[in-house]
Amino acid sequence: MRWERPRPGRLVRNAIALIVSSAGSSIIGIVFWAFAAHLATPASVGRTTAEIAAMLLLSNLAQLSFGSIFERFLPVTGHLTAGFVRRAYATCLIFASILATVYVVTGFGHRFLPTAFIWRVLFVVSVVLWTIFALQDSVLIGLRASKWVAVENIAYSIAKLAILPSFVFLSAAHGIFVAWVAPLIFTNLAVTWYLFTRRIPEQMLTPAVSDLPSTRELIILAGAQYASLLTSVFVPSVVTLIVIDRLGAVANARYFLPAMIYSSLSLFTWGIIRSFLVEASTEPQALRAHANSALRVLAILIIPSVVLGCIFAPQFLGVFGHSYEANGTTLMRMLLLSFPGVSVMIFYSTFAWLDRRVWSMTLRNLATNSLYLLVVIVLIRHHGIDAIGIAALVNSAFTVILFLPASIKRYRQTAALSTEPII
Protein backbone atom coordinates (compact mmCIF):
# COMPACT_ATOMS: atom_id res chain seq x y z
CA MET A 1 0.00 0.00 0.00
CA ARG A 2 1.49 3.32 -1.05
CA TRP A 3 2.00 5.81 1.79
CA GLU A 4 0.58 9.23 1.05
CA ARG A 5 1.63 12.27 2.97
CA PRO A 6 -1.43 13.97 4.49
CA ARG A 7 -2.22 17.47 3.39
CA PRO A 8 -2.51 20.18 6.03
CA GLY A 9 -6.05 21.06 6.97
CA ARG A 10 -7.65 24.48 6.81
CA LEU A 11 -6.80 25.06 10.48
CA VAL A 12 -3.09 24.67 9.79
CA ARG A 13 -3.24 26.79 6.63
CA ASN A 14 -5.06 29.62 8.40
CA ALA A 15 -2.79 29.30 11.43
CA ILE A 16 0.26 29.53 9.16
CA ALA A 17 -1.23 32.63 7.53
CA LEU A 18 -1.68 34.25 10.94
CA ILE A 19 1.81 33.20 12.04
CA VAL A 20 3.23 34.70 8.83
CA SER A 21 1.24 37.84 9.57
CA SER A 22 2.55 38.07 13.12
CA ALA A 23 6.11 37.05 12.16
CA GLY A 24 6.29 39.50 9.27
CA SER A 25 4.81 42.30 11.35
CA SER A 26 7.10 41.50 14.27
CA ILE A 27 10.29 41.32 12.23
CA ILE A 28 9.48 44.56 10.47
CA GLY A 29 8.43 45.98 13.84
CA ILE A 30 11.82 45.09 15.30
CA VAL A 31 13.50 46.85 12.38
CA PHE A 32 11.14 49.80 12.89
CA TRP A 33 12.11 50.18 16.54
CA ALA A 34 15.79 49.57 15.76
CA PHE A 35 15.69 52.52 13.36
CA ALA A 36 13.66 54.55 15.84
CA ALA A 37 16.18 53.82 18.61
CA HIS A 38 19.00 55.14 16.42
CA LEU A 39 17.09 58.08 14.93
CA ALA A 40 15.59 59.39 18.19
CA THR A 41 16.73 59.75 21.80
CA PRO A 42 15.83 57.06 24.39
CA ALA A 43 13.55 59.59 26.08
CA SER A 44 11.62 60.16 22.81
CA VAL A 45 11.34 56.42 22.22
CA GLY A 46 10.12 55.93 25.78
CA ARG A 47 7.45 58.62 25.48
CA THR A 48 6.29 57.32 22.12
CA THR A 49 6.05 53.72 23.33
CA ALA A 50 3.93 54.94 26.24
CA GLU A 51 1.69 56.86 23.82
CA ILE A 52 1.32 53.81 21.58
CA ALA A 53 0.63 51.60 24.62
CA ALA A 54 -2.15 53.98 25.68
CA MET A 55 -3.58 53.99 22.15
CA LEU A 56 -3.59 50.18 22.02
CA LEU A 57 -5.15 49.95 25.46
CA LEU A 58 -8.01 52.30 24.57
CA SER A 59 -8.55 50.53 21.26
CA ASN A 60 -8.74 47.15 22.97
CA LEU A 61 -11.30 48.52 25.41
CA ALA A 62 -13.29 50.11 22.59
CA GLN A 63 -13.64 46.82 20.70
CA LEU A 64 -16.07 45.59 23.38
CA SER A 65 -14.94 41.98 22.89
CA PHE A 66 -16.34 41.86 19.34
CA GLY A 67 -13.04 40.44 18.08
CA SER A 68 -13.61 37.16 19.93
CA ILE A 69 -17.32 37.21 19.12
CA PHE A 70 -16.57 37.57 15.40
CA GLU A 71 -14.17 34.62 15.48
CA ARG A 72 -16.61 32.42 17.41
CA PHE A 73 -19.86 33.20 15.54
CA LEU A 74 -19.12 34.67 12.08
CA PRO A 75 -18.42 31.18 10.69
CA VAL A 76 -22.13 30.38 11.21
CA THR A 77 -23.95 33.75 10.84
CA GLY A 78 -24.76 33.17 7.14
CA HIS A 79 -27.22 35.71 5.73
CA LEU A 80 -27.10 37.76 8.96
CA THR A 81 -23.40 38.58 8.56
CA ALA A 82 -23.53 42.08 7.02
CA GLY A 83 -25.95 43.53 9.54
CA PHE A 84 -24.09 41.92 12.43
CA VAL A 85 -20.73 43.36 11.35
CA ARG A 86 -22.13 46.84 10.61
CA ARG A 87 -23.80 47.15 14.02
CA ALA A 88 -20.64 45.97 15.76
CA TYR A 89 -18.49 48.46 13.84
CA ALA A 90 -20.79 51.37 14.59
CA THR A 91 -20.98 50.56 18.30
CA CYS A 92 -17.22 50.15 18.68
CA LEU A 93 -16.26 53.26 16.71
CA ILE A 94 -18.61 55.48 18.69
CA PHE A 95 -17.26 54.06 21.93
CA ALA A 96 -13.65 54.48 20.73
CA SER A 97 -14.23 58.17 19.99
CA ILE A 98 -15.81 58.81 23.38
CA LEU A 99 -13.25 56.79 25.32
CA ALA A 100 -10.23 58.45 23.68
CA THR A 101 -11.70 61.92 24.10
CA VAL A 102 -12.36 61.34 27.80
CA TYR A 103 -8.84 59.96 28.23
CA VAL A 104 -7.30 63.09 26.71
CA VAL A 105 -9.58 65.61 28.44
CA THR A 106 -9.16 64.11 31.91
CA GLY A 107 -5.37 64.23 31.61
CA PHE A 108 -4.56 60.55 32.13
CA GLY A 109 -1.76 60.76 29.58
CA HIS A 110 -0.31 64.06 30.70
CA ARG A 111 3.17 62.54 31.25
CA PHE A 112 3.64 61.58 27.60
CA LEU A 113 0.87 63.05 25.40
CA PRO A 114 1.79 66.30 23.58
CA THR A 115 0.03 69.39 24.91
CA ALA A 116 -0.86 70.93 21.54
CA PHE A 117 -4.52 70.52 20.53
CA ILE A 118 -3.75 69.12 17.06
CA TRP A 119 -1.60 66.31 18.50
CA ARG A 120 -4.30 65.36 20.98
CA VAL A 121 -6.87 65.22 18.17
CA LEU A 122 -4.45 62.96 16.29
CA PHE A 123 -4.31 60.68 19.32
CA VAL A 124 -8.12 60.35 19.39
CA VAL A 125 -8.20 59.64 15.65
CA SER A 126 -5.46 57.03 16.06
CA VAL A 127 -7.56 55.13 18.60
CA VAL A 128 -10.49 55.04 16.17
CA LEU A 129 -8.28 53.93 13.28
CA TRP A 130 -6.64 51.17 15.31
CA THR A 131 -10.05 49.95 16.48
CA ILE A 132 -11.11 49.45 12.85
CA PHE A 133 -7.74 47.85 12.06
CA ALA A 134 -8.11 45.27 14.84
CA LEU A 135 -11.79 44.49 14.24
CA GLN A 136 -11.38 43.85 10.54
CA ASP A 137 -8.65 41.29 11.28
CA SER A 138 -11.13 39.38 13.43
CA VAL A 139 -13.77 39.61 10.70
CA LEU A 140 -11.33 38.18 8.16
CA ILE A 141 -10.38 35.36 10.53
CA GLY A 142 -14.02 34.57 11.35
CA LEU A 143 -14.83 34.42 7.63
CA ARG A 144 -11.88 32.03 7.06
CA ALA A 145 -9.95 34.56 4.97
CA SER A 146 -6.87 34.67 7.19
CA LYS A 147 -4.44 35.01 4.28
CA TRP A 148 -5.62 38.59 3.84
CA VAL A 149 -4.74 39.32 7.47
CA ALA A 150 -1.13 38.56 6.56
CA VAL A 151 -1.28 40.76 3.47
CA GLU A 152 -2.84 43.65 5.38
CA ASN A 153 -0.54 43.56 8.40
CA ILE A 154 2.69 43.13 6.47
CA ALA A 155 1.74 45.89 4.03
CA TYR A 156 0.98 48.19 6.96
CA SER A 157 4.28 47.31 8.67
CA ILE A 158 6.31 47.98 5.53
CA ALA A 159 4.55 51.29 5.00
CA LYS A 160 5.22 52.58 8.52
CA LEU A 161 8.87 51.56 8.28
CA ALA A 162 9.26 53.26 4.90
CA ILE A 163 7.94 56.62 6.11
CA LEU A 164 9.65 56.55 9.54
CA PRO A 165 12.87 58.43 8.62
CA SER A 166 10.96 61.21 6.87
CA PHE A 167 8.59 61.80 9.75
CA VAL A 168 11.34 61.69 12.38
CA PHE A 169 13.25 64.23 10.28
CA LEU A 170 10.17 66.50 10.19
CA SER A 171 9.42 66.08 13.90
CA ALA A 172 11.95 64.48 16.22
CA ALA A 173 9.44 64.46 19.10
CA HIS A 174 6.32 63.16 17.30
CA GLY A 175 7.55 61.59 14.06
CA ILE A 176 7.62 58.01 15.34
CA PHE A 177 3.96 58.14 16.40
CA VAL A 178 2.81 59.74 13.14
CA ALA A 179 4.66 57.09 11.12
CA TRP A 180 2.91 54.42 13.22
CA VAL A 181 -0.57 55.84 12.58
CA ALA A 182 -0.60 57.25 9.03
CA PRO A 183 -0.64 53.95 7.06
CA LEU A 184 -3.75 52.82 8.96
CA ILE A 185 -5.88 55.09 6.77
CA PHE A 186 -5.04 53.23 3.56
CA THR A 187 -5.07 49.70 4.96
CA ASN A 188 -8.45 50.26 6.62
CA LEU A 189 -10.00 51.56 3.41
CA ALA A 190 -8.68 48.65 1.35
CA VAL A 191 -9.81 45.90 3.74
CA THR A 192 -13.22 47.50 4.34
CA TRP A 193 -13.80 47.57 0.58
CA TYR A 194 -12.84 43.89 0.24
CA LEU A 195 -15.01 42.77 3.15
CA PHE A 196 -18.21 44.52 2.16
CA THR A 197 -17.97 44.01 -1.59
CA ARG A 198 -16.53 40.48 -1.75
CA ARG A 199 -16.18 38.31 1.34
CA ILE A 200 -19.27 39.23 3.36
CA PRO A 201 -21.63 38.88 0.34
CA GLU A 202 -20.17 35.39 -0.24
CA GLN A 203 -20.87 34.46 3.39
CA MET A 204 -24.45 35.70 3.11
CA LEU A 205 -25.28 33.11 0.44
CA THR A 206 -25.64 30.50 3.19
CA PRO A 207 -28.33 30.49 5.92
CA ALA A 208 -27.45 31.16 9.53
CA VAL A 209 -27.38 28.17 11.87
CA SER A 210 -30.12 27.75 14.43
CA ASP A 211 -27.96 27.80 17.58
CA LEU A 212 -26.74 31.38 17.40
CA PRO A 213 -26.74 33.03 20.83
CA SER A 214 -29.61 35.22 21.93
CA THR A 215 -28.98 38.90 22.61
CA ARG A 216 -28.89 38.18 26.34
CA GLU A 217 -26.33 35.39 25.93
CA LEU A 218 -24.25 37.53 23.60
CA ILE A 219 -24.13 40.28 26.22
CA ILE A 220 -23.07 37.76 28.87
CA LEU A 221 -20.31 36.37 26.64
CA ALA A 222 -19.12 39.84 25.68
CA GLY A 223 -19.18 40.92 29.31
CA ALA A 224 -17.07 37.95 30.37
CA GLN A 225 -14.55 38.51 27.58
CA TYR A 226 -14.47 42.23 28.37
CA ALA A 227 -13.71 41.50 32.00
CA SER A 228 -10.94 39.17 30.85
CA LEU A 229 -9.65 41.93 28.61
CA LEU A 230 -9.49 44.31 31.55
CA THR A 231 -7.20 41.87 33.35
CA SER A 232 -5.07 40.31 30.60
CA VAL A 233 -4.67 43.21 28.14
CA PHE A 234 -5.04 46.09 30.55
CA VAL A 235 -2.33 44.80 32.91
CA PRO A 236 0.62 45.04 30.44
CA SER A 237 -0.43 48.59 29.58
CA VAL A 238 -0.61 49.45 33.25
CA VAL A 239 2.86 47.97 33.74
CA THR A 240 4.14 50.31 31.01
CA LEU A 241 2.65 53.26 32.86
CA ILE A 242 4.11 52.02 36.17
CA VAL A 243 7.58 51.73 34.63
CA ILE A 244 7.50 55.21 33.13
CA ASP A 245 6.20 56.64 36.42
CA ARG A 246 8.59 54.80 38.80
CA LEU A 247 11.71 54.40 36.64
CA GLY A 248 11.39 56.97 33.83
CA ALA A 249 11.13 57.04 30.03
CA VAL A 250 14.56 55.50 29.41
CA ALA A 251 13.75 52.44 31.56
CA ASN A 252 10.44 52.14 29.73
CA ALA A 253 12.24 51.95 26.39
CA ARG A 254 14.48 49.19 27.80
CA TYR A 255 11.43 47.30 29.08
CA PHE A 256 9.35 47.84 25.96
CA LEU A 257 11.71 46.11 23.53
CA PRO A 258 11.99 42.73 25.37
CA ALA A 259 8.25 42.91 26.00
CA MET A 260 7.64 43.51 22.29
CA ILE A 261 9.63 40.38 21.37
CA TYR A 262 7.72 38.36 23.98
CA SER A 263 4.42 39.76 22.71
CA SER A 264 5.33 38.67 19.19
CA LEU A 265 5.55 35.06 20.37
CA SER A 266 2.20 35.51 22.09
CA LEU A 267 0.71 36.77 18.83
CA PHE A 268 1.97 33.67 17.01
CA THR A 269 0.29 31.46 19.59
CA TRP A 270 -2.96 33.39 19.50
CA GLY A 271 -2.92 33.04 15.70
CA ILE A 272 -3.00 29.26 16.08
CA ILE A 273 -5.72 29.40 18.74
CA ARG A 274 -7.87 31.80 16.74
CA SER A 275 -7.73 29.46 13.76
CA PHE A 276 -8.57 26.56 16.09
CA LEU A 277 -11.65 28.41 17.37
CA VAL A 278 -12.92 29.24 13.88
CA GLU A 279 -12.52 25.69 12.58
CA ALA A 280 -13.96 24.08 15.71
CA SER A 281 -16.96 26.42 15.47
CA THR A 282 -17.47 25.51 11.82
CA GLU A 283 -16.87 21.77 12.22
CA PRO A 284 -17.68 20.77 15.84
CA GLN A 285 -17.83 17.09 14.84
CA ALA A 286 -14.06 17.22 14.17
CA LEU A 287 -13.11 18.88 17.46
CA ARG A 288 -10.53 16.26 18.53
CA ALA A 289 -8.73 16.42 15.18
CA HIS A 290 -8.67 20.22 15.29
CA ALA A 291 -7.38 20.15 18.87
CA ASN A 292 -4.59 17.75 17.93
CA SER A 293 -3.58 19.92 14.98
CA ALA A 294 -3.49 22.98 17.20
CA LEU A 295 -1.38 21.23 19.85
CA ARG A 296 1.14 20.02 17.28
CA VAL A 297 1.59 23.46 15.77
CA LEU A 298 1.86 25.02 19.24
CA ALA A 299 4.64 22.61 20.22
CA ILE A 300 6.52 23.20 16.97
CA LEU A 301 6.32 26.95 17.54
CA ILE A 302 6.86 27.38 21.27
CA ILE A 303 9.70 24.96 22.10
CA PRO A 304 12.29 26.22 19.57
CA SER A 305 11.25 29.86 20.07
CA VAL A 306 11.83 29.74 23.83
CA VAL A 307 15.12 27.83 23.55
CA LEU A 308 16.60 29.97 20.79
CA GLY A 309 15.24 33.16 22.30
CA CYS A 310 16.93 32.50 25.63
CA ILE A 311 20.24 31.56 24.00
CA PHE A 312 20.39 34.51 21.62
CA ALA A 313 18.63 37.16 23.74
CA PRO A 314 21.74 39.43 23.90
CA GLN A 315 22.14 39.31 20.12
CA PHE A 316 18.47 40.11 19.51
CA LEU A 317 18.53 43.10 21.85
CA GLY A 318 21.94 44.18 20.57
CA VAL A 319 20.22 45.15 17.32
CA PHE A 320 18.74 48.11 19.17
CA GLY A 321 21.98 49.16 20.85
CA HIS A 322 24.31 48.17 23.68
CA SER A 323 22.17 49.87 26.34
CA TYR A 324 19.15 47.69 25.48
CA GLU A 325 21.30 44.54 25.46
CA ALA A 326 22.94 45.33 28.80
CA ASN A 327 19.70 46.18 30.60
CA GLY A 328 17.10 43.96 28.92
CA THR A 329 18.67 40.51 28.42
CA THR A 330 17.70 39.06 31.82
CA LEU A 331 14.15 40.38 31.48
CA MET A 332 13.75 38.91 28.00
CA ARG A 333 14.92 35.48 29.15
CA MET A 334 12.54 35.43 32.10
CA LEU A 335 9.63 36.49 29.90
CA LEU A 336 10.36 33.72 27.40
CA LEU A 337 10.70 31.08 30.13
CA SER A 338 7.29 32.09 31.46
CA PHE A 339 5.57 31.55 28.12
CA PRO A 340 4.95 27.78 28.12
CA GLY A 341 2.85 28.16 31.27
CA VAL A 342 0.82 31.01 29.82
CA SER A 343 0.20 28.98 26.64
CA VAL A 344 -1.87 26.55 28.72
CA MET A 345 -4.37 29.33 29.39
CA ILE A 346 -4.37 30.33 25.73
CA PHE A 347 -5.25 26.77 24.68
CA TYR A 348 -8.00 26.53 27.30
CA SER A 349 -9.63 29.72 25.99
CA THR A 350 -10.88 27.94 22.85
CA PHE A 351 -12.84 25.41 24.89
CA ALA A 352 -14.25 28.21 27.05
CA TRP A 353 -15.63 29.93 23.94
CA LEU A 354 -16.88 26.73 22.33
CA ASP A 355 -18.76 25.83 25.50
CA ARG A 356 -19.93 29.44 25.96
CA ARG A 357 -18.50 29.41 29.48
CA VAL A 358 -16.18 32.39 29.18
CA TRP A 359 -16.67 33.47 32.78
CA SER A 360 -14.74 30.42 33.99
CA MET A 361 -11.74 31.62 31.98
CA THR A 362 -12.23 35.21 33.10
CA LEU A 363 -12.19 34.43 36.81
CA ARG A 364 -8.99 32.42 36.43
CA ASN A 365 -7.42 35.24 34.41
CA LEU A 366 -8.39 37.72 37.09
CA ALA A 367 -6.59 35.68 39.74
CA THR A 368 -3.37 35.15 37.76
CA ASN A 369 -3.06 38.71 36.48
CA SER A 370 -3.80 40.22 39.88
CA LEU A 371 -0.88 38.23 41.26
CA TYR A 372 1.32 39.37 38.36
CA LEU A 373 0.54 43.03 38.90
CA LEU A 374 1.04 42.74 42.66
CA VAL A 375 4.53 41.24 42.24
CA VAL A 376 5.50 44.01 39.79
CA ILE A 377 4.39 46.75 42.17
CA VAL A 378 6.16 45.20 45.15
CA LEU A 379 9.49 44.46 43.43
CA ILE A 380 9.97 47.20 40.84
CA ARG A 381 11.73 49.63 43.17
CA HIS A 382 14.37 47.06 44.18
CA HIS A 383 14.77 45.05 40.95
CA GLY A 384 13.97 47.60 38.25
CA ILE A 385 12.52 46.21 35.03
CA ASP A 386 13.66 42.68 36.01
CA ALA A 387 10.74 42.71 38.48
CA ILE A 388 8.46 42.26 35.46
CA GLY A 389 10.26 39.06 34.51
CA ILE A 390 10.02 37.71 38.05
CA ALA A 391 6.31 38.50 38.06
CA ALA A 392 5.90 36.72 34.71
CA LEU A 393 7.51 33.53 36.07
CA VAL A 394 5.32 33.58 39.19
CA ASN A 395 2.24 34.22 37.04
CA SER A 396 3.20 31.35 34.71
CA ALA A 397 3.42 28.84 37.56
CA PHE A 398 0.09 29.97 39.00
CA THR A 399 -1.51 29.80 35.54
CA VAL A 400 -0.50 26.13 35.16
CA ILE A 401 -2.08 25.33 38.52
CA LEU A 402 -5.38 26.98 37.57
CA PHE A 403 -5.71 26.03 33.88
CA LEU A 404 -3.89 22.77 33.21
CA PRO A 405 -6.31 20.37 35.00
CA ALA A 406 -9.34 21.95 33.31
CA SER A 407 -7.58 21.87 29.92
CA ILE A 408 -6.72 18.17 30.24
CA LYS A 409 -10.24 17.27 31.32
CA ARG A 410 -11.86 19.16 28.44
CA TYR A 411 -9.42 17.77 25.88
CA ARG A 412 -10.28 14.21 26.90
CA GLN A 413 -13.96 14.95 26.34
CA THR A 414 -13.31 15.87 22.69
CA ALA A 415 -12.89 12.20 21.75
CA ALA A 416 -16.60 11.59 22.29
CA LEU A 417 -17.54 14.48 20.00
CA SER A 418 -15.23 13.92 17.04
CA THR A 419 -16.26 11.63 14.20
CA GLU A 420 -13.98 12.47 11.28
CA PRO A 421 -10.31 13.13 10.59
CA ILE A 422 -8.88 16.34 9.21
CA ILE A 423 -6.42 16.10 6.34
**DSSP secondary structure, 127-169, as one string:** HHHHHHHHHHHHHHHHTT-THHHHHHHHHHHHHHHHHHHHHHH
Contact 241, 50 (CB under 8 A): yes
Does a structural domain hold residue 349?
A: yes
- pLDDT, average across residues 198-207: 83
Whether pLDDT at 350 is above 50: yes
pLDDT at 129: 94
Q: Give me the number of domains the chain comprises.
A: 1
Mean pLDDT across the chain: 82
State pLDDT tens for residues 33-66: 888 877 877 777 777 888 888 888 889 888 888 8
pLDDT at 261: 80
State pLDDT tens for residues 257-305: 888 788 778 877 888 888 888 888 777 777 888 888 888 888 888 889 8
pLDDT at 135: 92
pLDDT band at 1 (very low <50, low <70, confident <90, very high): very low
Count of beta carbons in the 10 Å neighbourhood of residue 185: 12
Does a structural domain hold residue 20?
A: yes
pLDDT at 210: 57
Does a structural domain hold residue 77?
A: yes
Does a structural domain hold residue 2?
A: no
End-to-end CA distance of the chain, in Å? Answer: 18
Does a structural domain hold residue 423?
A: no
Does a structural domain hold residue 421?
A: no
Number of H helices, E strands in the chain: 17, 0
pLDDT at 417: 53
pLDDT at 34: 82
Does a structural domain hold residue 76?
A: yes
C-alpha dist (Å) from residue 222 to 209, 218, 392:
20, 6, 27
Residue range(s) defining the domain that contains residue 178? 10-416
Does a structural domain hold residue 370?
A: yes
Contact 341, 368 (CB under 8 A): no
Residue 142 CB partners (closer than 8 Å, separation 6+): 70, 71, 72, 73, 74, 75, 278
pLDDT at 127: 93
Q: Which helix (H) or strand (E) holds 12?
A: helix 10-39
